[in-house]
């Protein structure tokens, strides 16, 4: 696996790989876990070469979110990626990504604003900005993102469509389904913050979501199904539900009723020291 940290050698290396077939990009902030490796494996299935970026993007951290303590186990990440057959690792520092005088922000209105965006102002601008730069730096044929962060995926898809960065002009944006534990809990590095008791209680989240989806499918009013979901989580031991919303799957506009367009149930809830997020398709 080749490792580069400057933009000119990156472009040369990507062009050489592209001579042999499609190049897939998996953007990450490092501290890799099974979810990232699932994206890499899917990328390998779909392309001749996989490029992974590791960049802890300062622009997506809020003032109260500790950028400096974000884990950076670089050697271990390299071993994992080499073991998965990754061809190239793009590992710029902040000065390479945002040189002196950098002044441009990519902001995707609407889809960035509610749900997690409401609690983290500026976060999705930071994500859209860095992903736009990564697409321009490498011009990948496809790029893969986890569906676990559905709002992030929706922001990136909107940005790529609006700025002509997605197929047929540039990258195919592939959402990879959430990997779940045996009891249905979505895999996340945040699950490690849970005590054994909290971890057992957390399985109520996917269960309550499935119950709400079944209730909506059976014709129950959306607001009543969402109230039932929130009550079930509190009864199971969650401290608070930050949001539980039925949304248009693409624009993330809240839906008061299940219509014909693809819809998604999105939830964020707190248990112990963790804030867990999950999302599921409704009516597919």
Known catalytic residue at 36: yes
Q: For residues 135 and 238, which CB has a smaller minimum distance to ligand PAF in the complex? A: 135
| Structure tokens, 68 | 């400096």
Closest to ligand PAF by CB, 43 or 255: 43
Q: Which of 38, 57, 91, 151 binds ligand PAF (CB under 6 A)?
A: 57
Binding of ligand PAF by 278 (CB under 6 A):
no
Q: Please report whether residue 160 would count as binding ligand PAF according to CB under 6 A.
A: no
Q: Which of 39, 47, 88, 131 binds ligand PAF (CB under 6 A)?
A: 131
Closest separation in Å from C-beta 131 to ligand PAF: 6
Options 141, 149, 198, 245; binder of ligand PAF; rule CB under 6 A: 149
Q: Which residue is closest to ligand PAF by CB? A: 27
Is residue 129 at the binding interface for ligand PAF, with CB under 6 A as the rule? no
Residue (129 or 216) nearer to ligand PAF, CB: 129
Which of 33, 36, 49, 123 is labelled catalytic?
A: 36
222, 229 Cβ separation under 8 angstroms: no
Of the candidate spans 81-89, 126-134, 162-170, 179-187, the one that interacts with ligand PAF by CB under 6 A turns out to be 126-134
| Residue among 29, 96, 200, 281 that touches ligand PAF (CB under 6 A) | 29
Contact between 35 and ligand PAF (CB under 6 A)?
no
The binder of ligand PAF chosen from 4, 13, 23, 28 (CB under 6 A): 28
Q: How far is the CB of 30 from ligand PAF (least distance, A)?
A: 8
Spatial CB neighbours of 56, under 8 Å, sequence gap ≥ 6: 29, 30, 67, 70, 72
- Which residues contact ligand PAF by CB under 6 A? 27-29, 57, 60, 127, 130-131, 149, 152
Please list the active-site residues.
36
């Amino acid at each position: 696996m080749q490792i580069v940290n400057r933009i000119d050698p990156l472009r040369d290396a990507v062009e050489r790989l592209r001579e042999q077939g499609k190049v897939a990009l998996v953007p990450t902030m490092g501290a890799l876990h099974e979810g990232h490796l699932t994206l890499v494996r899917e990328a390998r299935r779909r392309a001749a070469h996989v490029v992974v970026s590791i960049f802890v993007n300062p622009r997506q951290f809020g003032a109260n979110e500790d950028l400096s303590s974000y884990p950076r186990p670089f050697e271990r990440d390299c071993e994992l990626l080499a073991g998965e057959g990754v061809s190239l690792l793009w590992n710029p520092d902040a000065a390479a990504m945002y040189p002196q005088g950098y002044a441009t922000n990519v902001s995707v209105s609407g889809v960035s604003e509610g749900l997690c965006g409401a609690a983290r102002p500026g976060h999705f601008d930071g994500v859209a900005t860095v992903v736009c730069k990564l697409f321009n730096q490498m011009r990948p044929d496809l790029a893969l993102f986890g569906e676990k962060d559905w709002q992030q995926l929706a922001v990136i898809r909107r940005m790529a469509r609006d700025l002509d960065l997605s197929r047929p002009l540039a990258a195919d944006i592939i959402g990879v389904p959430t990997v779940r534990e045996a009891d249905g809990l979505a895999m996340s590095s945040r699950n490690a913050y849970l005590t054994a008791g909290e971890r057992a209680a957390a399985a109520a989240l996917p269960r309550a979501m499935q119950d709400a989806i079944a209730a909506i499918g059976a014709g129950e009013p959306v607001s009543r199904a969402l109230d039932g979901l929130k009550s079930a989580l509190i009864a199971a031991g969650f401290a608070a539900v930050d949001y539980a919303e039925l949304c248009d799957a693409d624009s993330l506009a809240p839906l008061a009723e299940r219509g014909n367009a693809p819809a998604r149930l999105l939830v964020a809830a707190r248990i112990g020291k963790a804030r867990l997020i999950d999302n599921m398709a409704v009516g597919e």
